[in-house]
């Protein structure tokens, strides 16, 4: 079923857990003698896949996204043959703009939430009812914070 955040919108605990969960894998890959191409495949296939799974349940801010990039993605850059201080703005650009096509958690989180909303709102599932009731509750309480 996945992980759903509490309705306060505070992601601090989840962001710290993401970084701690991956720190052992990151340090192991950095200290290994693996080929750069294999490290890149491990980054996209393992690290990013495990972060992407939970994205629909987070309301990540740009600051939290930058924290994930700096603590989880940046340590891989040197192992992949990329200069460590490579600008993050360029790293997230697509290949055809001479970027690295590194996923941006802030943008990917928004896309994942929209897809979840579209896929579940026309159905009679537990997830669709949860989303509907949460939106109704926020509307009644007139929550002034970002929903998606």
DSSP sequence for 79-91: HTT--TT--HHHH
Distance CA 63, CA 91 (A): 16
Task: Look at residue 109 in the predicted model and tell me its pLDDT.
Answer: 83
Q: For 118-136, what is the mean pLDDT? A: 79
Of the two residues 5 and 64, the one the predictor is more confident about is: 64
| R_g (Cα) of the chain, nearest Å | 17
Task: Look at residue 1 in the predicted model and tell me its pLDDT.
Answer: 37
The answer for residues whose C-beta is within 8 angstroms of residue 96's C-beta and 6 or more apart is none
Q: For 25-53, what is the mean pLDDT? A: 79
CA-to-CA separations, 35 to 42, 46, 92, in angstroms, rounded: 11, 16, 22
Confidence label for 7 from pLDDT (cuts 50, 70 and 90): low
Task: Look at residue 34 in the predicted model and tell me its pLDDT.
Answer: 79
Is the pLDDT at 111 greater than 80? The verdict is yes
The pTM of this model reads: 0.66
Is the pLDDT at 97 greater than 80? The verdict is yes
Q: Which of 72, 80, 91 has the alpha carbon at shortest distance from 35?
A: 80
Query: Among all chains, which residue has been given the structure tokens 């509490």?
Result: 6
């Amino acid at each position: 079923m996945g992980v759903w955040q509490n309705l306060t919108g505070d992601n601090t605990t989840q962001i710290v857990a993401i970084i701690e969960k991956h720190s052992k894998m990151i340090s192991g890959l950095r200290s290994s003698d693996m080929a750069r191409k294999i490290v890149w495949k491990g980054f996209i296939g393992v690290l990013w896949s495990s972060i992407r799974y939970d994205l629909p349940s987070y309301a990540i801010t740009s600051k939290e996204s930058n924290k994930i990039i700096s603590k989880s993605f940046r340590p891989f850059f040197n192992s992949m043959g990329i200069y460590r201080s490579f600008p993050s703005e360029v790293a997230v650009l697509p290949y055809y703009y001479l970027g690295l096509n590194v996923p941006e958690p802030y943008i990917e989180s928004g896309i994942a939430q929209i897809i979840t909303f579209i896929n579940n709102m026309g159905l009679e599932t537990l997830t669709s009812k949860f989303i509907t009731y949460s939106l109704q509750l926020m509307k009644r309480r007139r929550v002034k914070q970002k929903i998606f």
